[in-house]
Amino acid sequence: MLERIDINVDCGESFGNWRMGIDERIMPLITTANAACGFHGGDPMTMLRTVDYAKAAGIVIGAHPGLPDLAGFGRRAMALSADETYACMMYQAGALRAFVEAKGLALHHLKPHGAFYGMLNNDKALAAAAVRAIRDVCPKPMLYWAGPVKGRALSEVALAEGVRLVSEVYFDLEYDDDGFLILQRGVGEVDMARTRERIRNFFQTGEVTSVSGNRVAIPAESICVHGDGPSAIPIVESIREIAGELGIALKPVSA
């Protein structure tokens, strides 16, 4: 049985007059926010509001950098060099860090978004550049990570460079038999009865059930909920309720 768990949500993904997610409602219910930094979503005013929401809710906040692709919401891969990868990470996380520190907070972590995450998993040179950026911009270098450590460039380089790796579990996406997420373009509404069962089972056993029916151990310290998903609030409320029933503390991850 787990003793504690973190709940993180991707936030601040609105842009101009276009609104994404329900940040003001969901942030008081979680422990950690991943804020978009203007490339796949977000803009200066949205970043400012997101940091204000995090401070008011008393939660920690990290950077959620994506590819420079507002039209595609950062979900279309593109060719980047290692230097471009480093600059892309630094530019976005550095901007958020300025907002965060102006409010008397500290940048907690980095978590790459969308296609950027996939690119960094598959290319060791890009992964090394990303990890260098995390070390340079994050006061206590920390990377939020979905999936097993072995076999993915980003996680392996991060661990080799001494970056704190925070493993996540998801209840609004499915898993394959190796414990990797089955990614999809958008997150739809989930079956809440099944989701509650998945939450309780993970809390009690540390396992998820793959799409083929196999039980897979996920050694996670944090639960990620997609803030733009239509079931985000019910999922977070269920996590909080079931954690309370089982005596599991909800706390942010410590560096």
Q: Is residue 92 part of a domain?
A: yes
Q: Residue 152 phi/psi, 5° resolution?
A: -130, 130
Cα angle vertex 225, ends 223, 231, to 5°? 135
Q: Is residue 161 part of a domain?
A: yes
CATH of the domain at 73: 3.20.20.370
Task: Residue 101: give the domain boundaries.
Answer: 4-170+221-228
Q: Is residue 214 part of a domain?
A: no
The pair of structure tokens assigned to 114 is: 């969308």
Q: How far apart are CA 54 and CA 51, in angstroms?
A: 5
Residues 6+ apart with CB under 8 A from 160: none
Q: Is residue 103 part of a domain?
A: yes
Residue 80 pLDDT > 80, yes or no?
Answer: yes
Nearest to 195, CA basis, from 219, 221, 229, 228 = 229
User: Residue 44 has what pLDDT?
Assistant: 97
Q: Is residue 116 part of a domain?
A: yes
Number of structural domains the chain divides into: 1
Q: Residue 151 phi/psi, 5° resolution?
A: 90, 5
Percent of the chain that is helix, strand, coil (3-state, to 5)? 40, 20, 40
Q: Is residue 178 part of a domain?
A: no
Q: Is residue 17 part of a domain?
A: yes
90-94, 179-183, 190-194: range with lowest mean pLDDT: 179-183
User: Residue 153 has what pLDDT?
Assistant: 95
The pair of structure tokens assigned to 14 is: 């609105």
* Average pLDDT of the segment spanning 209-218: 93
Structure letter (DSSP) for residue 71: T
Q: Is residue 253 part of a domain?
A: no
Rounded to two decimals, the pTM is 0.94
